[in-house]
């Protein structure tokens, strides 16, 4: 049962433009959401997070938006850079869950110079 869903497995975007990644979740107990970035042959690296008490969190070029009523979050990367080419995983956890993360399948982003 996939509790965190990432559709559109791949995205190509021109350098300097905006990349938008979407994530949907089904478990209403999730109250903390994260994005991880993964390069080939490396482990995932934490990128940005958001608590359910917020609807937006920004860190430099990365912004995560949360729509609790729709059980939907998105990651915006502006402007996109070639080094952003990677797989991005959406993850979620619940307060009761011992910090256990449920991951989506990932989105491949390719930034074209």
Partner 1 sequence: EAGVAQSPRYKIIEKRQSVAFWCNPISGHATLYWYQQILGQGPKLLIQFQNNGVVDDSQLPKDRFSAERLKGVDSTLKIQPAKLEDSAVYLCASSLWTGGRDTQYFGPGTRLTVL
| The two structure tokens encoding residue 27 | 């478990």
- Residue from 13, 84, 104, 109 binding partner 1 (CB under 8 A): 104
Q: Is 8 left (phi over 0), alpha (psi -120 to 50) or beta?
A: left
Site string for partner 1, 26-65 (x = CB under 8 A): ------x---x----xxxxxx--x-x--------------
CA–CA separation, 19 and 63 (whole Å): 11
Min separation Cβ 18 and partner 1, Å? 24
| Closest separation in Å from C-beta 99 to partner 1 | 6
Place of tokens 């209403």: 28
**88 part of the interface to partner 1, by CB under 8 A:** no
Provide the minimum distance between the beta carbon of 61 and partner 1 in the complex, in angstroms, as a whole number: 19
Query: What ranges make up the beta strands (E) of 39-103?
Result: 45-51, 56-59, 62-67, 72-77, 86-94, 102-103
The footprint of partner 1 (CB under 8 A) covers 4, 32, 36, 41-46, 49, 51, 89, 91, 93, 98-101, 103-106
């Amino acid at each position: 049962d996939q509790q965190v869903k990432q559709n559109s497995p791949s995205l190509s975007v021109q350098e300097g433009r905006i990349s938008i990644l979407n994530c949907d979740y089904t478990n209403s107990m999730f109250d903390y959401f994260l994005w991880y970035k993964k390069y080939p042959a490396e482990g995932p690296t934490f990128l940005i997070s958001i608590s359910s008490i917020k609807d937006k969190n920004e860190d430099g070029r990365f912004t995560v938006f949360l729509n609790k009523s729709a059980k939907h979050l998105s990651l915006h990367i502006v402007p996109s850079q070639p080094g952003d080419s990677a797989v991005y995983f959406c993850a979620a956890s619940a307060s009761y869950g011992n910090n256990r993360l449920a991951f989506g399948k990932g989105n491949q982003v390719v930034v074209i110079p």
